[in-house]
Amino acid sequence: MDDVFSAHRTDDSIRLDVARTAVLIVDMLNDFCKSGGAMVLPGCERLFPPQKSVISAARERGVPVIWIADSHREGLRRDREWLKRAPHCVEGTWGAEIVEDLAPKKNEMRIFKHRYSGFFQTDLDLVLKDLACDQLVIFGVVTNICVRSTVHDAFFNGYAVVVLEDCCAATGPREQASSLYDIATHFGVVSDAASVVAALMSGAAVASKVTS
């Protein structure tokens, strides 16, 4: 059941126009997703199949696939993330690379971020404007930190946002449910890979999956 405040919501159905849509993949990096990484989130491998289905559909339909990657420089005196989290995703290391499982292509754009949000002091907003994309499909890790921060900033910057529940993972089930619920009620549409693939391939409406 919706809480009293969040119950005051409007219809959030959306159809994706392939000419206006971009897919943003957040932090699917070795340090977070592969054994031996600096800060591994257990179970990331279950995200690969649904993520690959969306990436494949996007490529087939000519929708830009943009990889957002956490990146940190050694030797800084006060890296804000490292004040809260152990060192990770050091620039130029294996840990900062995109997982090979998703087969990123060399001609696909990368946005390197130094904070949780893919928009904060990067050129992501400019890139999207130059692509004429104002509808964003966003997924990756982790839901309640970097995905959520990127979704918030996308909403604040005027983008329509779709987040895929089966293509994201949080630090725990409570955080996953809470973050997706808040995104669905305040910032965008929560759906899944199958619905977005159908939307990209046939123009079907994206099916909303509100998490309670």
The reported pTM is 0.92
Domain spans of the chain?
A: 14-206
Give me the torsion for CA of 148, 151, 156, 159, rounded to 10°. Answer: -170
Neighbouring C-beta atoms of residue 151, cutoff 10 Å: 29
Neighbouring C-beta atoms of residue 61, cutoff 10 Å: 15
Superfamily of domain 14-206: Isochorismatase-like (3.40.50.850)
Confidence of residue 127 (pLDDT cuts 50, 70, 90): very high
Q: Which whole number is the average pLDDT over 106-130?
A: 97
Give the side-chain half-sphere CA count within 13 A for 82.
16
Percent share of the chain, pLDDT over 90: 80
Q: Are strands 14-15 and 205-206 parallel, antiparallel or unpaired?
A: antiparallel
Q: How far apart are CA 191 and CA 13, in angstroms?
A: 10
Confidence of residue 83 (pLDDT cuts 50, 70, 90): low
Percent share of the chain, pLDDT over 70: 88
Residue 148's Cβ-count burial label (10 Å; 0-12, 13-18, 19+) is buried
102, pLDDT greater than 90: yes
Q: How far apart are CA 183 and CA 39, in angstroms?
A: 25
